[in-house]
Structure 1
Amino acid sequence: METFSSIECFVRSAEVGSFAEAARRLSLTPAAVGKSVAKLEARLGVRLFQRSTRSLTLTEAGQLFLGQVSASLTTIQNAVAHLANAEGQPAGTLKVSMGTVFGRLYIVPLLGEFLRRYPAINPDWHFDNRQVDLIGQGFDAAIGGGFELPQGVVARKLAPAHRVLVASTDYLKRHEAITEPDDLHHHDGILIRSPQTGRVRSWQLIGSSPQHCRPLMLKARMTMSDSDAACATAAQGLGIALVSMPFAVNYLEAGTLQRVLPDWYIDDGNISIYYAEHKLLPGKTRAFVDFIIEQFAQQGLAQRFSAV
């Protein structure tokens, strides 16, 4: 068991490049982690890390050893988590990342039912619009859209990630009619900055078919980092907003906003639930993934979020 603990300290230190950060994630002291790794090196008879006051880097032997033990360590930990259930029920801390407003609108309302089914699971939910390092930061799952799929991570589609143009009735009454994409050039745009890059992306509007595309020529009157804020701004009659459907749908259904060029939209991939790919997925993670997929299907969210 001591060797297993030392291997875990080694793997976590290698992942984050720091004894201090590994200690924080393992709820240990940096000295304990360093001592544990030193014992492992003595046992193996090789140096696994090159240490300095500012950095911690793997030696050639350390890189080789990490490749040999990392996957096995994860498999063992998942097997333990899978069996360590409360009276046969999934149990443990469930660390999940999701977008701030999306999570509040569509995931948090599901929490009560989830805990009624799985009372031994303790949610540890993080709300952030940026992509997280699912494996490196120790998340069990993440929900979002437009993320790159790192090696070792799988995605299950929940709904399409469509973006649409919306404006208030008052704005549309006060400005020139919009009958085709080229008309947007004369209107004030409320555009969204990417949370990853801070830049406004160039978009292609899709018409009656995926082959029928036109560049979005909307003048940037203002930029925001959140679609819900952009919807609220558009509702004041301040411009035409390009927003994600999950945030626009409540405004559209209430009549506060209406679609501009309703036959046109932007396809931004999918909203998915992400988790690490393992042969034996921890019970708590499997329960959460299956529950979210079930709830999206029962509530018809894929249909509500579709702009087609």
Structure 2
Amino acid sequence: MESMTSIECFVRSAEAGSFSEAARRLGLTSAAVGKNVARLEASLGVRLFQRSTRSLTLTEAGERFLAEVSGGLAVIQSAVANLASADGQPAGSLKISMGTGFGRTYIVPLLRDFLTRYPAITPDWHFDNRRVDMIAEGFDAAIGGGFELPPGVVARTLSPGHGVLVAAPDYFEHHSQLKSPAELPQHDGIFIRSPQTGRIRPWSLRNQTNEQAPAAMRVRMTMSDPDAACEAAQSGLGIALVSMPNALRYLESGLLKRVLPAWYVDMGTLSLYFPAQKLLPAKTRAFVDYVVEHFRTQNLAKRFSAF
């Protein structure tokens, strides 16, 4: 029977496309990963990779073997991790990705109670507004919106992903009143650039009767962070288009107010992403269940809705 180490080295090398990157993720040397894969190939009697100085690609046999073992490897590793948990409780490093402002506002405040329940879990939380490759980067879960589901990942919807227009409470004391989206081009807009493309996405506004209109404000400035956009709007510098989770605390505190409150942007959903495994690691299951329960008790799905 092939060793788990050799099979894991093969799977991680296939995912990463190189022995050196697989070694970094596994905490091994590149030579050790290469030797483990070579040992596996010798035992199976087939070549799994085509190697060159610049690339590492799967052979046809390697592609078949990867499809057959990768899911089973994850299940076995989860079973071992769950069995090794402290006194049968969820344990281990919990690597989570989430947006900076969202994570600091809604997830970090949960830490004390979460760790009281699960003291053997060690949070390794990454705050970034980009979309991560969960499988390749080794994340246990991620919270965000607009992710394309790759093979091996499932999503649990937490709330609608609505975007709204916001401005300082006294904004219209110095600017013309807005009666419809058609008047937006007369106003300065504060936009958030896409972390993937660096560009401003051309969002469309809609209302409850499903009428649509472009969010066609003048581009006064662009930001990479929604909190920065809200703070710029709070200073009276223009109208910001931000998601409800980012705008909510400013709206509830009165620092910002909705502009054209009958209109919103449909940004998809806010979801919790995690590996599609029959046997999910206990630490990941504990986090998923805890966040879902928090959204329910705090009525966040309703509060994150534009209506």
Question: Given the two structures, how large is their TM-score scaled by the length of structure 2?
Answer: 0.97
Q: Residues 203-262 of structure 1, C-alpha deviation per residue, up to 9 Å, x if partnerless?
A: 1211132x2222222111111122111110011111111111112111112211111111
Equivalents in 2 of 1:2, 1:59: separation in Å?
19
User: SS where residue 232 of structure 2 aligns?
Assistant: helix
Greater than 6 Å deviation, 4+ residue runs: none
Contact 2:185 2:216 in 1 (8 A): yes
Which residue number corresponds to residue 279 of structure 2?
Answer: 280
How do residues 1-308 of structure 1 correspond to structure 2 at under 5 angstroms?
Answer: 3-209=3-209, 211-308=210-307
Percentage of identical aligned residues: 67
AA aligned opposite 2:207: G
Match of 2:173, SS? helix
How many angstroms does 1:135 deviate by?
A: 1.3
TM-score, length-scaled by structure 1: 0.96
Q: Cα RMSD (Å) of the superposition?
A: 1.3
Question: What is the alpha-carbon distance in structure 2 between the residues aligned to residue 131 and residue 217 of structure 1?
Answer: 26
1:47-82 superposed Cα distances (whole Å, 9 cap, x missing partner): 111222221111222112112211111111112122
Q: Secondary structure at the match of 2:288?
A: helix
Distance (Å, rounded) in 2 between the aligned partners of 1:254 and 1:97: 27
Q: Which residue identity is paired with 2:76?
A: I
Report deviation, 1:118: 0.5
Three-state SS of the structure 1 residue aligned to 2:7 is: helix
Deviation per residue, 1:133-157 (Å, 9 max, x gap): 1112111100011211222211111
Amino acid of the structure 1 residue aligned with 2:221: M
The residue identity in structure 2 corresponding to 1:126 is: H
Cα deviation, residue 2, structure 1: 6.0
Q: Distance in 1 between matches of 2:184 and 2:215?
A: 8
* Structure 2 Cα separation of the partners of residues 248 and 105 of structure 1: 11
- Number of residue equivalences: 307
The amino acid that maps onto 2:99 is G
